[in-house]
Structure 1
Amino acid sequence: MRLATRLTIAILSAASASLGAIGPAAADEPDPSYSYFGGLAAELTTPGQHPPGANDWSCKPTAAHPNPVVLLHGLSNDTVTWNSLSPVLTNAGYCVFTTTYGTGALGPVLGAITPIAESARQISDFIDRVRAATGSEKVDLVGHSMGGAVPFYLLNHLGGIPKIDHYVALAAPLHGSTVSGIASLQPLLESTALGAQVVQQCGPCELSPGSAVSIDLNANPAIAPDIRFTTVVSRYDEIATPWTTGLLEGPNVDNVVLQDLCPTDYTEHYELPADPVAVRVVLNALDPGRAQPVSCTVVLPFAGPVR
């Protein structure tokens, strides 16, 4: 009841609030929507286009931001997921790169569906392409959901440790996910021949709690002590569940629970990478020397901040 009450209050607040900006954008900054719906709209109006600011292959990192940033989506695509964060990072002076990896029958509309090992190989190849184009030894990773978990396969099995500086995981099922109980139906699906075949080719299905692949993923920051890990989670996550699956332990880890920073942030799994509170956390994680205070506002599920 407490969650329902808080969400009701937030929605009523949104209905009665006057319109206002969360924070003024710089004059040359593409205006981010800070909304999951904004990403969906971008996909519908410009299908196949990368998010604003991403994939300028002539971009050269500066001394202020020497690492290019690679953004990795979850069970979605790069346009939907990074419509807000990509222009913010670009305006802040980063070279930003995205790719829709792990696609299947639906093509670039839906990625991260192939087995984790295959997705990890595609990500590894993309990182090498970014490093070659920019001349950078290392990249910073920002991954949402599956995109925050799959790179651990890269670190453990594909020699990725020397290529990564900062690793930011947003709502990532690092230790498997129950998907709000839906994962308990997976054995029933696997009991049929067709279902078993589907599960064998399904990357997200490999992250059921306690699965062999989840264990093999080995989301242990101790394997890479020189990488700085930041996790960002929401207590209202409905996909990476329990929400604590997105946390790590170790001296090279910063765990951020959004509601500890902003009690009126009701973001769930899909809104999280567009949430302005989370966006500021990402900026601070990538450049701690220029960290700024995190402003709190009312953030609604899917819709984003109350303006």
Structure 2
Amino acid sequence: MRRTTHRRAVRASIMMGVSLLAVGFAGAGADAAPDPAPTDRQLADYIAAGLKQAGPIADSGSACTSGSGAGSGNGSGNCYGGSGSSSGSSGGYSTDTQGYGPSMTSWLAAFGYGLAHPDATPPGANDWNCTPTAEHPRPVILVHGTWMNAFNGFAFMGQPIKDAGFCTFTLNYGRSNLIEGGGLGSVLPGTMGTGYIQDSAKQLSAFVDRVLAATGAPQVDIVAHSQGGAMAGWYTKFEGGAGKVHKLVTFGATHHGTSLDGIGALGRAVNNFGIDILGFVEMFVGHAGIQQTIGSDFVDKLNANGDTVPGIEYTVVGTRYDEVTNPYDLTFLKAGPGAQVTDITLQDGCEQDVSDHLTMMYSPRALSIALRALDPAKFPDLQCTFNPWLLGGGGSL
């Protein structure tokens, strides 16, 4: 019996790592009803009700060393996360993209290309000679998610946003390795966004400053996916980004954490009784994966004083078929003083779009939502097409 239970625990941990790799094989099929995940909700409510006061998180005694700096990034060398994990030290850095990859309509194809060409620039991005116009005075920063990179995050959206008249820029952030706690996925050349999210926010801050200096613009708009949305939120709250961001458009962002199919929330609950089981799980998913679980120190601090920052216009998009950020409505935000929030479920008014966490970035409807958020007067209409789950197809197979 004990061996069976242990095997199940190990298997569950491995599955969580696979789900964060974001190939989506653990999710529901395109024709399947979305999972309401009542157990996840109960765990989230349990933690929110004060479980974190039940006992200290176990301290594994792991050391934190300074991160390496490269490209446009910098390693802060601070200890973050509070998970009690022993899977690695703080670290990670960001880099500029190099060369251009092709426009792609399929997420699966783009993901593969990004693994083979980890530094490729998505079409339309990083023209450092681009001058913002009076019609579109703010550059747009494209921010990828966990275990992704700039190319496979925006191989579909990058060029259309550029063609719409925006100067667009992007970076590869959160590059780390197993020693730095990046998790199993970080051994692949194209998987980024694995370092501590606070370090990644510092990297985003430095990049935004470069873009502002290059373009002469006073502010930027941000279009972000998954971790990129939560990380951009941290940047606006704690890294001086509040006055530099006008619009924040997020897709499947882990603003309030994720259950990671319930395993992450369960692990967090056990950890808060002083038993460090997340250390084992973190070997698979990395620092950033653990930080995005419901009830993590990162998520709690991110939202401690409200969801939003005054002066920022938020457009927050979730999909009912999201198998990574789940329950999917945890992505939505509540407007605080001086902020404007538009929460959108991708399927409202377009049930045939069955995009999941990753393929939503290859959805014509999602693209039209981004364009409308950036310029509602010029792009008022939303598209509605079938977009296949898992593969993605830019509206076709």
Aligned counterpart, 1:282: 370
Greater CA deviation, 56-65 or 30-39?
Answer: 30-39
Contact 2:242 2:309 in 1 (8 A): yes
What is the alpha-carbon distance in structure 1 between the residues aligned to residue 305 and residue 369 of structure 2? 22
RMSD across aligned C-alpha pairs, in angstroms? 2.8
Contact 2:278 2:290 in 1 (8 A): no
Contact 2:237 2:309 in 1 (8 A): no
Pair 1:90 & 2:162 matched: yes
Specify which structure has the higher proportion of helix.
1
If the length of structure 2 is used for normalisation, what is the TM-score? 0.66
Instruction: Note the 1:1-307 alignment, pairs <5 A.
Output: 7=31, 32-43=103-114, 46-75=117-146, 76-105=148-177, 106=186, 109-184=190-265, 186=267, 191=276, 195=280, 198=283, 202-218=287-303, 223-250=308-335, 252-304=340-392, 305-306=395-396
Structure 1 stretches lacking a partner, 5+ long: 10-29
Larger-Rg structure: 2
If the length of structure 1 is used for normalisation, what is the TM-score? 0.84
SS at match of 1:272: helix
Specify the code of the residue in structure 2 equivalent to 1:94: F
What is the alpha-carbon distance in structure 1 between the residues aligned to residue 255 and residue 157 of structure 2? 22
Overall identity of the aligned pairs, in %: 33
Specify the code of the residue in structure 2 equivalent to 1:173: T
What is the alpha-carbon distance in structure 1 between the residues aligned to residue 287 and residue 326 of structure 2? 18
Contact 2:115 2:190 in 1 (8 A): no
1:289 Cα offset (Å): 1.5
Distance 1:31 1:111, change over 3 A: closer
Greater CA deviation, 214-223 or 293-302?
Answer: 214-223
1:294 Cα offset (Å): 1.4
What is the alpha-carbon distance in structure 1 between the residues aligned to residue 153 and residue 278 of structure 2? 33
Distance 1:4 1:166, change over 3 A: closer
SS at match of 1:102: strand
Aligned residue-pair number: 285
Structure 2 stretches lacking a partner, 5+ long: 1-26, 34-100, 178-185
Specify the code of the residue in structure 2 equivalent to 1:245: L
Contact 1:61 1:68 in 2 (8 A): yes
SS at match of 2:222: strand
What is the alpha-carbon distance in structure 1 between the residues aligned to residue 132 and residue 387 of structure 2? 32
Aligned counterpart, 2:73: none
Greater CA deviation, 211-220 or 120-129?
Answer: 211-220
Contact 1:152 1:219 in 2 (8 A): no
What is the alpha-carbon distance in structure 2 between the residues aligned to residue 44 and residue 157 of structure 1? 32
Distance 1:8 1:237, change over 3 A: closer
What is the alpha-carbon distance in structure 2 between the residues aligned to residue 206 and residue 282 of structure 1? 27
What is the alpha-carbon distance in structure 1 between the residues aligned to residue 231 and residue 195 of structure 2? 11
Contact 1:138 1:165 in 2 (8 A): yes
What is the alpha-carbon distance in structure 1 between the residues aligned to residue 249 and residue 376 of structure 2? 13
What is the alpha-carbon distance in structure 1 between the residues aligned to residue 391 and residue 309 of structure 2? 36
Distance 1:221 1:95, change over 3 A: farther
Aligned counterpart, 2:83: none
Greater CA deviation, 255-264 or 189-198?
Answer: 189-198
SS at match of 1:288: coil
Greater CA deviation, 180-189 or 211-220?
Answer: 180-189
SS at match of 1:109: coil
SS at match of 2:123: coil
1:192 Cα offset (Å): 6.0
SS at match of 1:154: helix
